[in-house]
Amino acid sequence: MAPCHIRKYQESDRQWVVGLLSRGMAEHAPATFRQLLKLPRTLILLLGGPLALFLVSGSWLLALVFSISLFPALWFLAKKPWTQYVDMTLCTDMSDITKSYLSEHGSCFWVAESEEKVVGMVGALPVDDPTLREKRLQLFHLFVDSEHRRQGIAKALVRTVLQFAREQGYSEVILDTGTIQLSAMALYQSMGFKKTGQSFFCVWARLVALHTVHFIYHLPSSKVGSL
């Protein structure tokens, strides 16, 4: 296992970072597709649709063509939440990472580098909500290249965010992840994050029953130095 070190993002890292984001999101489409196929409404469509069409038209061929054509449509639905997330991200905070994450105190973006390649990343931004009683930081875009997983890189990146939060005087760190991302949820819970709820981040996610789970990590002063 090649050594890996974590450092702040540089503009020369952009191509690597965008690639990590795009590949990381695309990886979830197959699992989302399998989940979509198990939904009751999908089973009704797959079984009932062709049967209804046969009863109306009397043509098994037409019913078969209709049934086969449903799978590309379902695959499109499975991919859409992830592609929309990438498009949205590249038009918002990751359109200019330096400006979004590195231009002010209280936010940062890190990459994990191994053998002169960026193999992981994570960002952190303050939560801008005047109703909050506690100073809160949000973790964004934790990704590790598939060939460098199970080496503790993701955990090291999360620890980097938590340490940064302590140093900057934050009381809480929050993050969102998908129910389909089982390894990510297991990682966060193993590090002390607690679930606070769930929602759908877009209409496409609702269509495929892809919930976003919200997590929080409390940083009381009594735990300083415990990581």
**Cβ–Cβ < 8 Å for 172, 126:** no
Q: What is the pLDDT of residue 212?
A: 94
Q: In the prediction, which pLDDT does 226 show? A: 44
- Read out DSSP for 32-66? HHHHHHHSHHHHHHHHHHHHHHHHHH--HHHHHHH
Separation CA 32–CA 44 (nearest Å)? 18
Range name among 65-74, 84-93, 159-168 with the lowest pLDDT average: 65-74
Taken as a whole, the chain contains a residue count of 227
Q: What is the mean pLDDT of residues 125-149?
A: 91
The whole-number pLDDT of residue 52 equals: 87
* Residues 186 and 149 sit within 8 Å (Cβ to Cβ): no
Q: What pLDDT is attached to residue 223?
A: 43
Contact (Cβ atoms closer than 8 angstroms) between residue 140 and residue 125:
yes
Structure confidence by residue, pLDDT tens digits, 76-106: 999 999 999 999 999 999 999 999 999 998 9
Q: Is the pLDDT of residue 58 over 80?
A: yes
Among 59-63, 153-157, 195-199, the least confident range: 59-63
User: Helix 153-167 and helix 182-190: axis angle, to 10°?
Assistant: 50
Q: Is the pLDDT of residue 50 over 90?
A: no
Pairing mode of beta strands 136-144, 172-178: parallel
Other beta carbons within 10 Å of 201? 16
Question: What is the model's pLDDT at position 32?
Answer: 95
In angstroms, the CA 99 to CA 104 distance is: 8
Averaged pLDDT, 175-195: 95
* Domain range summary for the chain, segments of one domain joined by +: 1-221
Nearest to 42 by CA among 7, 74, 81, 83: 74
Which runs of E-coded beta strand occur in 60-132?
108-114, 117-126
Q: Which CATH number fits domain 1-221: 3.30.930.10, 3.60.15.10, 3.30.70.100, 3.40.630.30?
A: 3.40.630.30
- The per-residue pLDDT for range 194-205, each reduced to its tens digit, is 999 999 888 888
pLDDT value of residue 71: 94
Q: What is the pLDDT of residue 201?
A: 82
Classify residue 100 as exposed, middle or buried by CB count within 10 Å of its CB (0-12, 13-18, 19+): middle
Taking residues 101-125, report their average pLDDT: 95
pLDDT mean across residues, the chain: 91
